[in-house]
Structures are given as C-alpha cells and as structure tokens.
Amino acid sequence: MANLASFARHLLPHPSRTSGGRELPRWWVELLLVGLLYAVYETTRGLQRSWTATADRNGRSIQRWEEAVHLAPEQSLNEVLHDLPVLAVLAAYFYATLHFILTPAVLIWLYRVHPGHYRRARTWLAAVTLSALIGFWRFPATPPRLLPHTGIHDTVADVEQRGWWSGQTSAPHGLGGLVNEYAAMPSLHVGWAVWSGWLLFRHARRKSLRAFGLAYPVLTEAVYSSV
C-alpha cells in the first residue's frame, strides 16, 4: 500500500517540467488528442451497429482457428470462474475497471515524474489505440462470452448484481450504448496493459512496481480470456 501511495502522489501534472530541453505539451493539446481518438471510436462504433451477423461470423472464425492450433484456453479458464464465484467477481472488477484507471494513471505519472519519456510514450499509446480502432472497423468480432451456443459463460453478466456494470457490457448501467461490443480483435485493453506494464517495468524505481509492470499484461490476458 505504501508503494501505491507513493505512486499516486506523483500523478498530478507539473506543467513547468520539460522533456529533453523542450516544454511538455500543454494539457489542452493532450485533451484535444483524446477527443480526436474518441471521435474516431464513435465513428467506427456507429458504422458497426448493423454488423452483428458479420461480427458473430468473425468471432466464430477466430475460435475455430484457435482450436485448430490449440490456442483456445477460454473454455477451461471460463469454467474455473464459473465454479469459483469469488474469483469471478474479482475478475469482473478487473475486466470492467482497471484499464480505465491504470492507463491514464501511468500516462500522468510519466508526465509528472519522467517528462523526458512522455511524448514518445503518449505517441505510441495514441498509435496503438488508433490502429486497434481501424482494426475494429475493418474486422468486427464478437467476444466469446457473447457468442451464442459456445458453452462459454458470460461471467460479467453472471455477477452483475455484485458490481456497477450492466449485464450486456462492462460499462455502468444505462451507458451500455457507449461500448463497442464487437471490438474483440485485436484486444485494445491488452495492448494498453502491455504499454502500461512496459513503462512501469522500464521507469519505476521501486522493485514492486516493476514486478507489477511485468505481471499486469499477463493478468490482463488471463482475465480477458476467461470472462
């Protein structure tokens, strides 16, 4: 807890810091970039509203390919969560919460504590996000938990009464329409986890945070494969 508190104390931006002899981007420029990415997200999501059949077909194709090359752990991991409700609740909270908190926290931490690495990290995050959004538009795919007749339990929906999300999405009740449920491939959240984990491992001074940086992408992949 002390390590996390120390990490949190560095989250507030410090506009006077510089990056490699250059001033850091102004906060409103960064907000403008976020707004631009969100506009692209909304555009791609709006284009997919009538593509349920295509997304289901693509989701099943991915499943068949995973089974053919023996890379389909979803069923076994999902059964473990189904048999252990406490673990299912923890996984659902991880799934619905952590990427919203940790990704911006790492970005602000870099801005505040490691300004020399901020611009490149921010640019990589924006590029990864934009690439994934284009992928969702060109290849919508329904995640296994929402595909009918797969034998996979929808863990998020099964434990919704113990969380703040709705049964259909990981968004809060009433905000499910803001989520693109056909954005399963590539997993943007796993990409964010790899980005966050690498930066923590590379730049954190405390060994515990560096260890968490290594573990976080692995945990994210395990959770997203099981829920």
pTM, 2 dp: 0.81
Average pLDDT, the chain: 82
pLDDT at 186: 77
Distances (CA, A) of 105 to 3, 18, 52, 84, 198: 14, 19, 34, 31, 14
Among 185, 180, 187, 188, residue whose Cα is nearest residue 125 = 188
Q: What is the pLDDT of residues 44-64, one digit of tens each?
A: 776 666 678 888 999 899 888
Q: What is the pLDDT of residues 111-137, one digit of tens each?
A: 999 999 999 999 999 999 999 888 888
Residue type, 185: M
Q: What is the pLDDT of residues 162-210, one digit of tens each?
A: 877 766 666 666 555 567 777 777 788 899 999 999 999 999 999 999 9
Say if CB 87 and CB 160 are below 8 A apart.
Answer: no
